[in-house]
Homo-oligomer: A and B are copies of this chain.
Amino acid sequence: MSRSTAREDMLRSAAMLFREKGVEATSLADVIEHAGAPRGSIYHHFPRGKPQLVEEATRTAGALMGSMISAGLAKNGPTDTLRAIIGGFRDQLESTGYTAGCPVAPAAFEGSNSPAALAAAGESFTSWEDTIAASLWQRGLSQQRSRGLATMAISAFEGALIIAKAQRSTVALDRVETELIGWLDAALGAAAGGNADS
């Protein structure tokens, strides 16, 4: 029942290193060093080794993002939430030399190797989509438009992060932010105008 901060530090460090270098290129030694954790403790906290670490780091990061999305949507609405989240990732992209992307995508990408981590990534994406779609539906959009816009938002966001890393620039992320906000506003405006759209 000890609230082992060491374990959580390792998960946080793992997630950060995955964002920057990918899963396969990150060794357990890297994680220990980054976390400043005791060297002999990894297999104590994660008996099943690296696969377990990858899965838990992905699942934890996905849940954190999910609660950020939920909280933002409840408090500030879709466009402001989008702005806040994209702004946060832009800052981290810039402050890490365009290496730190999404913490969930690495497991999705290199996930052939650890199916559990792949599943964790898939469930995270699905959960985000559900949350966003529900919020849009509550604001008057049809189910179909809500789903479509939610999937577009997450897809464009994930894709823009990859492109930003490759181009070593945030222009793709900037453009996606602008476009998404425009489309969201248009759709929500039309719904507020009394039509939930086709």
Contact = CB atoms under 8 A, between A and B. Distances in A.
Secondary structure at the A interface, as helix, strand, loop or mixed, is helix
B112 A21 contact: yes
A103 interface: no
Contacts of A152: 156, 175-176, 179-180
A35 interface: no
Nearest to A22: B110
Contact of A151 (B24, B111, B166, B175): B175
A41 to B, nearest CB: 25
Contacts of A60: none
A171 B113 CA distance: 23
A178 interface: yes
Q: How many copies does the complex hold?
A: 2
A147 to B, nearest CB: 7
Contacts of A171: 151
A163 B155 contact: yes
A125 B23 CA distance: 23
A110 B107 CA distance: 12
A171 B126 CA distance: 11
Contacts of A172: 125, 151, 154-155
Contact of A155 (B23, B106, B156): B156
B108 A106 contact: no
Interface in A20-46: 20-25
B110 A148 contact: no
Interface string A133-174: 000000000000001110110111111101101111001100
Contacts of A178: 148
A165 B111 contact: yes
A13 interface: no
Contacts of A99: 112
